[in-house]
Structure 1
Amino acid sequence: MTAGTLTRADLSEALHHQVGLSRADSGKLVEQILEHMCEALSNGENVKISGFGTFVLRDKGERVGRNPKTGVEVPIAPRRVLTFRASQMMRDRIVEAG
């Protein structure tokens, strides 16, 4: 794995080494999992991975924003945003590693 960013290729390579799947099969498995998650999120479902965290869709209402340079107020349209909330187990692991 590269320092700083975990990539699809890193996940695939870890599956290849730790589970023993071929590189092609591990790559397909990673893609299938990510596709399933994206499909669920696009259908308005939240995605919870036990021991890792939850991807939650939130609807944000319209609000007024301000250009910091000019001070001009601009309406910001309502939108749906994706947030991630780490599980307590994940937070504890991060604190231990730090």
Structure 2
Amino acid sequence: MKMAELKKAVAEKAEMSQSDANQVIKACFEAISDALGNGETVQLPGFGTFSLGERAARTGRNPQTGAEIQIAASKSVKFKAGKALKDSLNG
């Protein structure tokens, strides 16, 4: 599903204009991003949990040359699906 399709689906389910749905979706994504940026976990009961993960610095290899390279530490987003979401998918 692309953003335009999500916007249309939200607008239909919430009985609002696509413009309003777009603002709501953007606000939700921004709030989740801000919370994760502050090191918080975002729990959406019935849907899932977004949390911040950290990858340690490590040594990797360039697949073309085989030379060792240093890969810097980084942060990533983890998502764990909630029970209700899992149940709805496994029906």
TM-score band by shorter chain is 0.7 to 0.9
Give 1:39 deviation, angstroms: 1.3
What is the alpha-carbon distance in structure 2 between the residues aligned to residue 60 and residue 16 of structure 1?
38
Provide, for residues 2-42 of structure 1, a one-character-per-residue CA deviation record: whole Å limited to 9, x for no partner: xxxx2332222123222211222222111111111111112
- Name structure 2 gaps, 5 residues minimum: none
- Partner of residue 3, structure 1: none
- Partner of residue 9, structure 1: 4
1:19 matched to 2:14? The reply is yes
Bigger mean CA deviation after superposition, 87-96 or 30-39: 87-96
- TM score, norm. by length of structure 1: 0.77
1:48 matched to 2:43? The reply is yes
Q: What percentage of aligned pairs have identical amino acids?
A: 34
- TM score, norm. by length of structure 2: 0.82
List structure 1 segments (4+ residues) > 6 angstroms apart after TM superposition: none
Give 1:89 deviation, angstroms: 2.4
- Name structure 1 gaps, 5 residues minimum: 1-5
Give 1:70 deviation, angstroms: 2.5
RMSD between aligned alpha carbons? 1.7
- Partner of residue 26, structure 2: 31
Q: Is the 8 A contact 1:8 1:30 kept in 2?
A: no
**Total equivalences in the alignment:** 91
